[in-house]
Structure 1
Amino acid sequence: MDESELEEELRNFGIDVHDVEAVDPIELSHVTAYPGEEVNHMEMGRVLNGFLDLARDDEWDPARVDATVLRFEDEVMNTWYAKAEWFEGLLQYRLSETEFSTRVLETLDEDGE
């Protein structure tokens, strides 16, 4: 899957993709629709669900995703990541959705840099 296909899929999930590199790790930056003080967890979930749907449809092999959430196009709000093995664990029912979400949420860099 190339960058344009990945960007299109994430946009279908309502994500305002700023930039994406479909390498391992995948580097994604997106402009949040919720530019408050904290990253919106539901929006993070939409990003993750986009990748999970692609994996379920055999259109993406799970890889680490490094995400940068932008408050505006030139202002970093926060960063987070999800490891390939977490995606695989969820898809193979070795991890619950709660365990998966908790692991990803724990990666949030609360300092924003």
Structure 2
Amino acid sequence: MVEQTLQHEVFTVLIEQDEDGYYVATVPALKSCYTQARTLPELYGRLQEVIELCLEEEEPTPMKFVAVHQFELTGNTRNYATIADNYRRADDRVSHASRI
């Protein structure tokens, strides 16, 4: 068991909604740390609980939030590199524009 004296820690949480309308939250810094609920207020309460439980068993993996993208796979696998290249070019344009 990991001993933890948690005073203040910030976790990135990914929240999605499934086909049945449930909100599903995943904490990438903690392996297998996820929960679900019908409403967002209920989900937030469950997140507090599941994060505390996961911290009893493991140390969080240090991670830095960068971005969230929805990645759509279309056609055959040969197009994936082209899609990724398009994202990189778009990121370069945004980066360049922010320096101007």
The TM-score with structure 1 as length reference comes to 0.26
Where is the strand percentage greater, Structure 1 or Structure 2?
A: 1
> Rg: which structure is higher?
2
